[in-house]
Amino acid sequence: MKPKLLLFVLIAAACWSCNDQCKETRVVRRFTTVTHSLMELRTKVKAESPRALDQPGKMYVKGKYLFVNEIKKGIHIIDNSNPSSPKFVSFVTIPGNGDIAVRDNVLYADSFSDLVALDISNPASPKEIDRVKNVFKSGLFDGGSWNLNESVGAINDQNVEWVTETVDVNCEENLNPGWWGGGIMWMIADRASFSGAAKSASPQSAGGSNGQAGSMARFALHQNFLYTVGQSTLHLFNITTPSKPVDFATVNVGWGIETIFPYKNKLFIGSSTGMFIYDNTNPAEPKQLANFQHGRACDPVVVEGDIAYVTLRTGTACAGTQNQLDLVDISNPSSPQLIKSYQMENPHGLSIDFPTLYLCEGEKGLKVFDVADKFAVDKHQLAHFKDIDAYDVISLGETLLLIGKDGFYQYDASNPRDLKLLSKIPVGKAI
């Protein structure tokens, strides 16, 4: 073969290889813009018969009852008198709901722009008793944004649909799974978030009978106040009369706010760039003490004693590059200091029943650590349960509550090394 012809054949073969097409299956999100009338949304809060879990989000526990958020749709109320056999009691339809808090017999929930108070003295038939309108201005559900158009009385919303698609790609191409088809496939920043103008599950301290939230909570109770965090603010509601929440104050915190954890007379607020610490000695006027900054990543916070436990993870709209557990010394809350960072796989929610730390790793399961030696946490992993999807967890001492994409779990945690499944409510099934 002549040299020129041989060169042509080699180039052609190389180009043909570059253009080989392969099939790749991906799960992506599609957004559909919808406008909701506030007038209509406000007529839709009502108690209904129990239904199966579909897309579980946040969880909350008070007394013998569990409250599980159905993302953007409402709240399941579950009788947990017997953790081995929980029973669905009712479902409360609350459009645009993402968070829960309970004081006495009053349940607080967000409904897009509004804060709704419900009487749950009869859990089978909760009733709306009050509403604070237009206090939350915007938010996210699975990365789909919504915002309040107060001038026309409407919510501009992006519905999110998860779709499995098979596409043709260049076999030689090394694609970033977050980018394709000329667009951006945003990953989940959080199950639900909004913006406003247990032991280590948020203990919801003092001032009445409160429940417990998980580490992903954006609602917290302390004395006569309900605190809610949005993407840039801390919003205070006076609940001296629990059935009559009053819009009280708004504190600008910073951008990328994600979670809130009250501990003693402090508020620990997780953000995409760090942890904010607020002195809450005067609950009506929280004062910022410090901002512990780290690389950009989504993170919840829990606290025990003089140590804050913070997880950071990638694969979210926070666009972070770190998957780790940070232990932070808060003995001087005005000057928090890093104790040590530990590499993780994709950490989400966490809970501590000292010295036992429960850490959710999303699709990678649940890890259990003994953290008595703060400098050797990685050397004291007690267990790794890989066959569950773990989003958030609440430790109640000898009982452990866990929620993930595939359902709600309860475990006997009397031996943290060997958790015993008490019950599971799988997605798609009502009990």
Chain-centroid distance, C-alpha 38: 25
Contact 115, 157 (CB under 8 A): no
Q: Which of 249, 303, 260 is nearest to 101 (CA)?
A: 260
pLDDT value, residue 176: 43
pLDDT value, residue 431: 65
Distance CA 279, CA 289 (A): 6
pLDDT value, residue 16: 43
Sequence-ordered list of residues with C-beta below 8 angstroms from that of 392, at least 6 positions apart, any chain: 58, 59, 214, 215, 216, 300, 348, 349, 360, 402, 403
Instruction: Please name the residue that has the structure tokens 């610490």.
Output: 277
Helix (H) or strand (E) holding 148: strand 144-149
Q: What domains lie within the chain, and their CATH numbers?
A: 31-154+187-426 (2.130.10.10)
Beta bridge partners of 141: 144, 192
pLDDT value, residue 320: 57
Contact 132, 196 (CB under 8 A): no
SS3 content of the chain, % helix, strand, coil (to 5): 5, 55, 40
pLDDT value, residue 293: 84
Distance CA 198, CA 107 (A): 18
User: Does residue 5 sit in helix, strand or coil?
Assistant: helix
- pLDDT tens, per residue, the chain with 431 residues: 544 444 444 444 444 445 566 777 777 878 899 999 999 999 999 999 999 999 999 999 999 999 999 999 999 999 999 999 999 999 999 999 999 999 999 999 999 999 999 999 999 999 999 999 999 999 988 888 999 999 999 999 998 887 887 777 666 554 443 322 333 333 334 455 555 444 455 556 555 699 999 999 999 999 999 999 998 999 999 999 999 999 999 999 988 898 999 999 999 999 888 899 999 999 999 999 999 986 555 579 999 999 999 998 876 555 456 789 999 999 999 999 999 999 999 899 999 999 999 999 999 999 999 999 999 999 999 999 998 999 999 999 999 999 999 999 999 999 999 999 999 999 987 66
Distance CA 286, CA 262 (A): 11
Distance CA 233, CA 239 (A): 19
SS (H, E, C) 150-191: CCCCEEEEEEEEEEEEEEEEECCCCCCCCEECCEECCCCCCC
Instruction: Specify the pTM.
Output: 0.86
Contact 258, 300 (CB under 8 A): yes
Region class of 256: left (phi > 0), else alpha (psi between -120 and 50), else beta:
left
Distance CA 358, CA 201 (A): 11
Contact 231, 254 (CB under 8 A): no
